[in-house]
Structure 1
Amino acid sequence: MHTSEGKHVLITFARSFLTLELSRLMAAAGHRVTVVDSISITVSRYSKATSKFIKVPPPKFEPQAYCRKLSQIVVDEGVDLVIPIHEETDILAMMVGLFDPSVKLFLTDFATLDTLHNKVSFQRKLDEMGLPTLGFASVSNDAELAAVDFGAPFALKQSYSRGSQNIYKVVPGQPLPSPVYEDGNEWLAQEWTSGTSYCTYSICHEGRIYAHATYPVRYAIDGKSCLTFTETRHPGIFDWVTKIVAETNFTGQIGFDFIDNPDDGLRCIECNPRATSGIMMFREHNRVDRAFFGDNVDAAGNVELIEPDPDVDKMIGVGMLLYGWRKEAYPDNTLRGFTKEFRRAQDVITRKGDERPAVMLVPSYAAILRTCMKYKVGLAEAFMHDHEWDGRRY
C-alpha cells in the first residue's frame, strides 16, 4: 500500500547529517524536500536531494518567530509534512497552536514529549510501568546531592541536557562536584553501571512502531555520541521500546539509550524523543519514507516493520577524523583498529553523484565556528546550541 508518492516534506536543522541523510532517502523515494536552518551555510542545503533552503530564526532564542516562520513556509510552499530533527521538536509541540490545524507536524503532544525528554520524569515513568530501572534520585541543591547514597558510584546529569554534555561520575568517599543549579532543570543522580551500550531509533504512529534500528555504541565522542553504526537485532530492546511507545501512544521519531549488564540485565538509561543517528542506517531500497507517512501497513492493518539491512556499516567520516582516533573514543582503541574501521565503513556524508555536501563541509563548519564565537561555547556545543531546549516554557 503506497499512498505517499510525490509528497513535499519540510525537514528542520539543515546543518545536521541526519537531515542530509533523511533528505536523500526522501528524494530517492520521489518526494520533494525543503530544509530550514538558522545558519545559512549547511551541508543539506547543497545536496541534490533538497529542492529549497530557507533561513529561519533560531528556535531556542526566538521560538515564536521560528514557529510562525515555519507555519508561513508550510502554507507558501505547500508542505505536506514537517519533520523536526533536533530539540526544536519540543518547541514546535509547545507552540502547535501557531500552526493551522491542517498542518501535519510529525511529533507527539508536548506533555508526552516533556515526560520522555526530562531524564528524571522518564525514570519515574519506567517505574510506573513496572520496568526495572537503575537507582535514581532527583537533585536540586547541594544538600540533596550530599544525601544521595546508592552505596556505589553514580552519574549526575541535568534533566534537560544532551548525552555528551555535563555528566559527572560521583564516587563514594570522593569530593562531590559543584553543579550549577537552575530552576526547572533538576539534576538526575543515576546509579552507574557497566555493560554493552546500545542506542535505538524508531519511527512511530499512535503507539505503534513503523521502522526501527538498534546499534551498539562503538566508536563515539567521549564514549557517548556515536560515530559508527552497525545493525544489531536485540529482541529484548525492541520489546522495551514497543512497551514504552504503546504506553505513551507516541507519534514521531524516538530513540533510547540502553545498557545490557550481564548480571542485572537490560536497563534503559534515557530517552531522546526526536530523531537520532539511527536514521542514517537505512538505505534507499529500505523505503523508510513509508514509515513517516504510515504506508507500510498490510490490508489487515498490520505494520510491516522496516529495519536496516543486517550488513549496514556506516560512519560519520568527519567525526571519525576529529575524534575516532582518540583513546577515549573506543575501548582499547588503537590507530590500527581505527584505520581499519575508517576504511571499511561507508561515510554518510560522501555520496557518489551528490558530492557538494562533502565539498561544503569546511564552509559549513566555519559557519558553526561563528556560532561558537557568538554564543561563547565550544564546537560540539555550538553545533546544536541554538536548537536546544532546556525545559523553558514559552
Structure 2
Amino acid sequence: MQRGCHASSGQTVLITGARAPVALHHARLFHAAGWRVVLADMPARPVSRASRACALYQRLPSPRFHPEDFTDALEALIEREKPSLIVPSCEEIFYLAAIRERRGLGAELFAPGLDLLQTSHNKHDFIKLCEGFGIAVPETRLLTSREDVSNLGKQADSLVFKPVWSRFAGQVLVSPASRKLKQVVPSAAMPWVAQERLEGDEISAYVLARDGKVLAVSIYRSLYRAGAGAGICFEPVKDPATRALIGTFVGNTGWTGQVSFDLMRLEDGSVRPLECNPRATSGLHFFKDAARFVRTLLQGGDEVLPDVAGNQAVRLAMWVYGLPSALRSRDFARFREVLGAAEEILGTSDDPSPGRAQIPALLEIATIAMRNRISLQSATTRDIEWNGPDQSSM
C-alpha cells in the first residue's frame, strides 16, 4: 500500500523502519534539507506515515517471516523511486545489509557490512571487540548450556543475564534469585551472556560516522522507560570519557552509518560499554539543524554537536508507562515536572499529525500482541528481529 503526502524537491532518500520515532525524525531532517522522503515498513499505520515530510509510504512484507517477498518488494520500490540513499532505523538494517551482500541494492545503504553489524549486535562479541581495542569492559561470559549457568554458582548474585540476541532489556535478569535463574536456558543456537553487574549512572550515546570518522555524537540519559527497556523521555548529558570511547570504537572498526551504545558511568568518572545497538536510537532527537546534519551525513566534515538542550519525550508513552512507574515509586511530582518541561517528539507544532497517529499505531501493535500472545514491546519488533547469523542465508 502506498500513500502520497507532501513531496519536496531534490534527491530522494528511502527511510526504513517507519514505525520508529527516529525514522520520523530522520524524515523531518531530510525533508527540511530539501530531499524527497520515501518511508517503508511493515505496519499499515506507522506514525511517520502521517508526517508532512512523507512523500510516499510503502508497506513491505516481513523480512523475518517472508524474506524473499521482502527482497522482491524492496527491489521494486528502489527501482521505481530511485533513492540515492537508504537510511535504516531498526533491525531491518541486518536484512538490508544481507541483501546488499547477496545481490546489491542499487542505492547507498548507510550502514557497515553485515559481519560488523552482527558482531556489534551480539552482546558477547561486542564486548570482546571493545576489549581488543583496549577499551575497559565489564567481565562478560558466554553461556551456551544449562551447565554453564550452573557452574556460576553463587556468582549469579553479582551478574546480569541477557540473551546474546535481544533488544529492549525484555529478558534481562539482574542478580536473579535461583528461581528466576531457571529462566536462563541457553543453547549453542541461542546463547546468553552473564555480565558483571556495575553500579553507577547508566547513559546512552547515538553516533553518526563515515569511514571511521565520528560525524555526530549525542549522549543522553533515559529518565523514564517503557518497562525495563526502551527510553521514552531523554535528558542530554556531556561526558568526555564516553566521547573518547566512541572515537576508539568508530576509528578501529572503520564504521559507516549509525551506531548507539548503552554504557555505565562509574563513580570515578570512567565509563564501561554494556552493549551496542548498530542502528539509530533516541539521541538523534537532539539534532534539529537539518541542513548541517544531512550535509555532514553525506559529505563528512566537522563534527556536528547536538543543538537541542531540553529534554525530549513521547508524551503518550509517558502516560502509558511513565505514570505507573511514578506511582509505584511515589514520585508523581517529579513525573509531572519532567513531563511539563519535555518537548514532544512526535506531534510538533509544524508537523502535528504524527502525534494524532499514535493511537491507531498503538492499536495496530496491540492487535499483533494479542494475536500472538506477546507483550506490546515484543510486538513492536516481532516482524523485523534479527536473532543470529543463520538468517543471513535469506
TM-score of the superposition, structure 2-length normalised?
0.91
Q: Give the Cα separation in 2 of the matches to 1:175 and 1:362.
A: 35
**Which residue of 5, 11, 21 corresponds with 1:7?**
11
Amino acid in structure 1 at the alignment position of 2:86: V
User: In 2 relative to 1, CA 92–62 (structure 1 residues): closer, same or farther, beyond 3 Å?
Assistant: same
Q: Give the Cα separation in 2 of the matches to 1:80 and 1:187.
A: 39
Contact 1:220-1:324 at 8 Å conserved across structures: yes
1:1-394 mapped onto 2 (5 Å cutoff): 6-100=10-104, 102-148=106-152, 150=155, 152-171=157-176, 176-263=181-268, 265-284=270-289, 287-294=292-299, 296-297=300-301, 304-309=302-307, 311-327=309-325, 334-391=331-388, 392-393=390-391, 394=393
User: In 2 relative to 1, CA 360–334 (structure 1 residues): closer, same or farther, beyond 3 Å?
Assistant: same
Once the two structures are TM-superposed, the CA of residue 361 in structure 1 deviates from its matched residue by 1.5
Contact 1:195-1:261 at 8 Å conserved across structures: yes
Please give the per-residue CA displacement for 1:197-230, whole angstroms capped at 9, x wherever unaligned: 1100011111111111000232223354212222
Name whichever of 56-65 and 178-187 sits farther off: 178-187
Contact 2:206-2:219 at 8 Å conserved across structures: yes
Q: Give the Cα separation in 2 of the matches to 1:15 and 1:26.
A: 17
Once the two structures are TM-superposed, the CA of residue 285 in structure 1 deviates from its matched residue by 5.1
Contact 1:20-1:43 at 8 Å conserved across structures: yes
Please give the per-residue CA displacement for 1:314-358, whole angstroms capped at 9, x wherever unaligned: 11111111111233799x561111011111110001111322211
User: In 2 relative to 1, CA 287–173 (structure 1 residues): closer, same or farther, beyond 3 Å?
Assistant: same
User: In 2 relative to 1, CA 269–208 (structure 1 residues): closer, same or farther, beyond 3 Å?
Assistant: same
Amino acid in structure 2 at the alignment position of 1:336: A
Match of 1:300 in 2: none
Q: Give the Cα separation in 1 of the matches to 2:327 and 2:97.
A: 35
Amino acid in structure 2 at the alignment position of 1:312: G
Contact 1:200-1:255 at 8 Å conserved across structures: yes
CA RMSD across the alignment: 2.2
Amino acid in structure 2 at the alignment position of 1:231: P
Contact 1:33-1:52 at 8 Å conserved across structures: yes
Contact 2:149-2:184 at 8 Å conserved across structures: no
Name whichever of 222-231 and 172-181 sits farther off: 172-181
Contact 1:82-1:106 at 8 Å conserved across structures: yes
Q: Give the Cα separation in 1 of the matches to 2:237 and 2:277.
A: 19
Once the two structures are TM-superposed, the CA of residue 253 in structure 1 deviates from its matched residue by 0.6
Contact 1:17-1:348 at 8 Å conserved across structures: yes
Q: Give the Cα separation in 2 of the matches to 1:251 and 1:329.
A: 42
User: In 2 relative to 1, CA 190–264 (structure 1 residues): closer, same or farther, beyond 3 Å?
Assistant: farther
Please give the per-residue CA displacement for 1:155-207, whole angstroms capped at 9, x wherever unaligned: 11001000321011235877733224344221010011111111000111111
Q: Give the Cα separation in 1 of the matches to 2:289 and 2:175.
A: 44
Q: Give the Cα separation in 1 of the matches to 2:165 and 2:185.
A: 13
Structure 2 unaligned regions, length at least 5? 1-8
The structure with the largest helix share of the pair is 2
Once the two structures are TM-superposed, the CA of residue 286 in structure 1 deviates from its matched residue by 6.8
Match of 2:5 in 1: none
Name whichever of 358-367 and 43-52 sits farther off: 358-367
Q: Give the Cα separation in 2 of the matches to 1:266 and 1:353.
A: 38
Q: Give the Cα separation in 1 of the matches to 2:107 and 2:137.
A: 38
Once the two structures are TM-superposed, the CA of residue 65 in structure 1 deviates from its matched residue by 2.2
Name whichever of 342-351 and 62-71 sits farther off: 62-71
Q: Give the Cα separation in 2 of the matches to 1:200 and 1:319.
A: 21
Q: Give the Cα separation in 2 of the matches to 1:91 and 1:245.
A: 22
Please give the per-residue CA displacement for 1:358-392, whole angstroms capped at 9, x wherever unaligned: 12211111111222133331111111111111113
Contact 2:75-2:105 at 8 Å conserved across structures: no
